[in-house]
Amino acid sequence: MPKLHSKPSRSKQRGKNKLKIDAKIENLKYNPFLCQPLKTFGIDEFLSGSAFSNASFLLNHNNNSFAISHWVSPKRTRTYPYARVYDTMNARTRVTIIPFLKDEGKDGDRDFLQWDTVSLMSLLGVYVILGYYKKAEKNPDYQHKITAQEFDYVYLKHRLDELSQYKGDALHWNLNELNNNLLDVAELSKFHYKKISKQTAVELHGERGISRRIEVIRESVAKFQSNSRELASSAQNREYHTTQPKESIIEDKATITIKNYLGGFYYFTVDEVLLSGSHLFLIEKKHSDKSRVPNITDIKDGLVKMMLHTNFSEVLVLGKSYSHHPTLGLTSNIVRGYCNTLSTEKELSSFFSTNGFTQKATQALLNLFNEGQRNNILIFLMDNRTPKLQNEVIKEFLKKIN
């Protein structure tokens, strides 16, 4: 059995010999099994905003059925937008609505749209509609903070009307959205936040930052995309050096550059990379301190990354081709031992019994493992207190596929 190793070898090497991976993706094929059933609404419920009480929903409009998810903030780490997008991935036409700007007020956060967000949606075949907030209320717990922000639903309807007639793919729609609509949405965001500030007597972060962002777009959308790519690359480097609270890291992070069929480049990170001979494991990690299994929204967030990884047609490390294995690692401080998508029925039964899984929890994990098996993803759940178990999982996997 080849020795398992990662490059760079240990975290102390991090930043000196950062592993860089290149991957190609030509199309997307994936069978999701954990999508929540979506409620169906008509355009009246869309315009009233009542449909938006659901994180994702179906909309019947202009003889089309849209599976729509909406982001609370353009920043991915503040909520769980990937889980919302995941729940639409079994539909034919997938749309996600993302605010260009979310300003919570001087006492809160302010986030802007980034290019890598749109990049990921393009790779997933999800149509992006950029939105802006038109209404909000004063947060009673803060002097300068707003809450209950609502989109301009009439504007979003107009964009859906256009999408109803659109014949191209998500990538070209999203590029058009950036080229032709981003500036207008940015200006409308600025205008309506100014009105919200006056109506609620809440001081926001000010227009200077918005104006700078708009000025970049005015100079050229191409420059905006270039700047956003640089920001994405910078964020990629920052994330490489940072262990997020919900990640349990054993090996090292790496950067991954994905090239699509048109030659476009997209920059992401992978939580862990593990090499064994000619095999490369791309591992996304989700961790829980207090539950046997991480939260389902965390898991779906990881599965969205798996949708990309499982569709790579080629993966190179330092110019060398590897057989790659998309891997979703779930860790917990509660469970003992481990189980995975290749575990036998007897092994699974023993694991569930030892760890006191209820019938409902057992079925939920089996459903997740079924999704992994159908999409060639290695998924495992293990005791985080015994890190060496991950190597046992990998060795067992290699033994069974060889």
Q: Please compute, for residue 219, the number of CA atoms within 13 A of its CA located in the half-sphere on the CB side.
A: 12
Please check the confidence at residue 220 and state whether its pLDDT lies above 50.
Answer: no
- Residue 345 and residue 214 in one domain: no
Closest by CA to 324, choosing from 12, 88, 21, is 21
- Residue 68 and residue 152 in one domain: yes
- Residue 222 and residue 351 in one domain: no
Q: 253 — phi, psi (to 5°)?
A: -75, 165
Q: For residue 270, list its beta bridge partners.
A: 254
Task: Please give the pLDDT value at position 214.
Answer: 73
- Residue 215 and residue 109 in one domain: yes
Q: Please compute, for residue 257, the number of CA atoms within 13 A of its CA located in the half-sphere on the CB side.
A: 15
Asked if residue 291 belongs to a domain, the reply is yes
Q: How many domains does the chain have?
A: 2
Please check the confidence at residue 1 and state whether its pLDDT lies above 50.
Answer: no
Contacts of 149 (CB under 8 A, 6+ apart): 102, 133, 135, 136
Residue 354, domain extent: 11-28+244-401
- Residue 163 and residue 216 in one domain: yes
CA distances (Å), 260 to each of 54, 177, 216, 240, in order? 32, 19, 26, 23
Task: Please give the pLDDT value at position 9.
Answer: 36
pLDDT in tens, 24-61: 998 899 999 999 999 999 999 999 999 999 999 999 99
- Residue 271 and residue 350 in one domain: yes
Residue where a domain terminates, one of 199, 232, 265? 232
Please check the confidence at residue 12 and state whether its pLDDT lies above 70.
Answer: no
CA distances (Å), 33 to each of 282, 292, 364, 375, in order? 21, 21, 11, 10
Using a pLDDT cut of 90, give the percent of the chain over it.
Answer: 70
- Residue 355 and residue 397 in one domain: yes
Least confident of 37-41, 178-182, 290-294, 309-313: 178-182
Contacts of 29 (CB under 8 A, 6+ apart): 311
- Residue 61 and residue 186 in one domain: yes
Closest by CA to 390, choosing from 380, 377, 376, is 380
Closest by CA to 347, choosing from 390, 381, 313, 319, is 381
Task: Please give the pLDDT value at position 6.
Answer: 45
Residue where a domain terminates, one of 232, 260, 285? 232
Asked if residue 55 belongs to a domain, the reply is yes
Are the CB atoms for 384 and 287 separated by under 8 Å? yes
Over residues 344-369, mean pLDDT = 97
Residue where a domain terminates, one of 211, 232, 253? 232
CA distances (Å), 234 to each of 81, 116, 228, 229, in order? 21, 11, 10, 8
CA 126-262-302 angle, 5° bins: 40
Asked if residue 104 belongs to a domain, the reply is yes
pTM: 0.88
Tell me the H-state helices in 201-277. Answer: 207-219, 221-240
- Residue 21 and residue 78 in one domain: no
Closest by CA to 152, choosing from 76, 99, 81, 93, is 99
Asked if residue 3 belongs to a domain, the reply is no
Asked if residue 176 belongs to a domain, the reply is yes
Task: Please give the pLDDT value at position 14.
Answer: 42
Alpha-carbon span 134 to 50, nearest angstrom = 15
Asked if residue 6 belongs to a domain, the reply is no
Alpha-carbon span 384 to 251, nearest angstrom = 13
Asked if residue 346 belongs to a domain, the reply is yes
CA distances (Å), 74 to each of 41, 216, 312, 324, in order? 24, 18, 26, 31
Asked if residue 290 belongs to a domain, the reply is yes
Over residues 369-376, mean pLDDT = 97
Q: Which two tokens stand for residue 95?
A: 């749309």
pLDDT in tens, 192-216: 999 999 999 999 997 777 777 777 6
- Residue 254 and residue 168 in one domain: no
- Residue 288 and residue 224 in one domain: no
- Residue 54 and residue 190 in one domain: yes
Task: Please give the pLDDT value at position 401.
Answer: 84
pLDDT in tens, 241-260: 655 545 544 567 788 989 88
